[in-house]
C-alpha cells in the first residue's frame, strides 16, 4: 500500500493498495472517495439501506462523505485499487444523495481521466498537469451527479487562449497554478484548458513542459550542468527533467550535455 498527500488543491490523499483477504468494516470518510479498480473486484454495502454494490475494473466508483460503507474482495485473488480523496472544493457535499443513488459510474472516458490523473500525481513536478486533469474529472463527476449533458463547444477561445499563453510564457520557470490563472484571466479552469487546447492543439501543461525543455536545452548548450539546468528551467529536480527530456529528444540531458562538451573539445583539437 502507498499513500501520500499531493501538492494539488482539492485532493486530500492518494491511496494505491492491493488486498487479498482484507475486509473493511463499516466506516465513513470526511472526503469523497473516488475509486478505480485495476485488478479483481470489490463488493460493498452503502448506507443503512442495505443496498449491495460492486466496484469493477470497467467503471468508476464514487463514495460520498459521511455515508457508511464497507468493502471486501469479490474474487479469491483479492483486488488492486487506486483512490483519490476529494475535498468539497471539487465536489459539493450537497451532491451526496445523488452519489448514494448512483455510486457506480460506467463511463470509460471518466475512468481514463481518473487513471491519467493518478499518473500525473505520481510525479511531484507534474502538479500543474494534475490540477488541469482534476478540473476535468470534477466537471464530469458533477455532470453525472446532476444528470446534465456534458459541456459542449462554442467557447470563445482566441483572446482567452492567447492571454493564458502569455501568462505561461511569463511564468515558465516559476510556474502557475490553474486556480491562479483562472482568477487572473477571469475564467473557469476547465474553460481555460479547453480554450487553450482548441487554440494551440495541446493542453497548457504540455505547452509549459515543452517550454521548459527548450529552456533546459539552451542552458545545457551554455555549459550548465543537468542538475542545475533542471531547477533553472523550472523542473522539480534532475529526474523530472530527464523524464521529459527523453520524451522530447530521445536522450537524457546528461548524454546531451556530454555530446556538447565532446563536440567542443573535438573542434578545439582541430
Q: 219 and 170: one domain?
A: no
In a domain, 39, yes or no: yes
Beta carbons of 49 and 95 less than 8 angstroms apart: no
C-alpha cell at 42: 470489490
DSSP string spanning 228-240? HHHHHTT-SSHHH
Domain identity same for 179 and 242: no
| Tens-digit pLDDT profile for residues 139-189 | 999 999 998 655 554 445 678 999 999 999 999 999 999 999 999 999 999
Map residue 255 onto helix, strand or coil.
helix
Residue 9 maps to which CATH number? 2.60.120.10
Contacts of 48 by beta carbon, 8 Å cutoff, 6+ apart: 68
* Residue 260 pLDDT level (bands cut at 50, 70, 90): confident
Tens digit of pLDDT for each residue in 27-40?
Answer: 999 999 999 999 99
Query: Are residues 54 and 73 part of one domain?
Result: yes
In a domain, 144, yes or no: no
| Measured CA distances, 3 to 72, 81, 263 (Å) | 19, 12, 46
Report yes or no on 153 lying in a domain: no
Distances in whole angstroms, Cα of residue 147 to Cα of each of 35, 37, 133, 141: 20, 24, 21, 10
Domain count, the chain: 3
Domain stop point among 74, 102, 125: 125
Going edge to edge, which strands form the sheet with 42-46? 23-27, 69-73, 42-46, 51-55
Please report where in the chains the cell 467557447 appears, as a residue: 155
**Last-in-domain residue among 102, 125, 148:** 125
CATH of the domain at 217: 1.10.10.60
Is-contact 74 42, C-beta < 8 A? yes
Q: Is 100 helix (H, G, I), strand (E, B) or coil?
A: helix
| CA pair distance 227, 229, nearest whole angstrom | 6
| 208-240 tens-digit pLDDT | 999 999 999 999 999 999 999 999 999 999 999
Share of the chain above pLDDT 70, in %: 91
Mean pLDDT of 54-80: 93
75 lies in a domain?
yes
**Same domain assignment for residues 83 and 179:** no
Judge whether 260 and 220 are in contact, CB under 8 Å: yes
Q: Is residue 264's pLDDT more than 50?
A: no
Q: Cα 18–22–24 angle (5° rounding)?
A: 105
Task: For residue 176, give its domain range.
Answer: 158-201
178, 226: one domain: no
Residue 270 has pLDDT above 50, yes or no: no
- Domain assignment present for residue 133? The answer is no
Shared-domain flag, residues 36 and 109: yes
Question: In the 8-state DSSP scheme, what is residue 121?
Answer: H
- The mean pLDDT of the chain is 91
For residues 86 and 21, membership in a common domain is answered with yes
Higher per-residue confidence, 135 vs 152 = 135
Query: Residue 258 — pLDDT band, cuts 50, 70, 90?
Result: confident
One domain for residues 165 and 253:
no
Is 107 domain-assigned? yes
| Residue 87 covered by a domain | yes
Closest CA to 71 of 97, 90, 94, 43: 43
Q: Is residue 113 part of a domain?
A: yes
108 with 168, same domain: the answer is no
Q: For the whole model, what pTM was predicted? A: 0.86
Q: 41, 54 in Cβ contact below 8 A?
A: yes
Same-domain status, 210 and 194: no
Encode pLDDT of 71-94 as tens digits: 999 999 999 999 999 999 999 999
Answer yes or no: are the C-beta atoms of 6 and 122 closer than 8 Å.
Answer: no
CA distance 34 to 137: 10
Same domain, 185 and 215: no
- The verdict on 183 and 229 lying in the same domain is no
Amino acid at each position: 500500500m502507498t499513500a501520500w498527500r499531493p501538492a494539488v488543491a482539492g485532493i486530500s490523499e492518494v491511496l494505491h493498495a492491493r488486498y487479498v483477504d482484507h475486509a473493511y468494516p463499516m466506516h465513513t470518510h470526511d472526503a469523497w472517495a473516488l475509486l478505480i479498480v485495476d485488478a479483481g473486484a470489490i463488493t460493498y454495502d452503502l448506507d443503512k439501506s442495505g443496498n449491495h454494490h460492486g466496484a469493477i475494473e470497467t467503471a468508476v466508483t464514487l463514495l460520498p462523505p459521511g455515508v457508511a460503507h464497507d468493502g471486501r474482495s469479490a474474487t479469491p485473488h483479492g483486488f488492486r485499487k487506486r483512490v483519490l480523496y476529494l475535498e468539497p472544493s471539487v465536489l459539493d457535499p450537497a451532491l451526496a444523495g445523488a452519489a448514494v443513488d448512483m455510486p457506480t459510474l460506467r463511463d470509460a472516458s471518466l475512468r481514463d481521466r481518473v487513471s491519467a490523473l493518478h499518473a500525473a500525481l505520481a510525479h511531484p513536478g507534474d502538479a500543474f498537469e494534475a490540477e488541469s486533469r482534476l478540473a476535468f474529472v470534477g466537471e464530469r463527476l458533477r455532470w453525472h451527479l446532476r444528470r446534465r449533458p456534458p459541456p459542449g463547444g462554442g467557447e470563445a477561445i482566441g483572446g482567452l487562449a492567447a492571454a493564458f499563453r502569455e501568462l505561461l510564457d511569463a511564468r515558465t520557470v516559476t510556474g502557475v497554478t490553474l486556480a491562479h490563472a483562472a482568477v487572473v484571466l477571469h475564467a473557469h479552469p476547465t474553460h481555460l484548458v479547453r480554450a487553450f487546447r482548441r487554440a494551440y492543439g495541446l493542453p497548457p501543461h504540455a505547452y509549459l513542459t515543452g517550454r521548459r525543455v527548450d529552456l533546459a536545452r539552451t542552458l545545457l548548450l551554455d555549459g550548465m550542468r543537468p542538475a542545475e539546468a533542471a531547477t533553472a528551467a523550472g523542473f522539480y529536480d534532475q529526474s523530472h527533467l530527464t523524464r521529459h527530456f527523453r520524451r522530447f529528444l530521445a536522450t537524457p540531458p546528461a548524454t546531451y550535455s556530454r555530446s556538447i562538451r565532446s563536440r567542443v573539445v573535438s573542434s578545439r583539437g582541430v
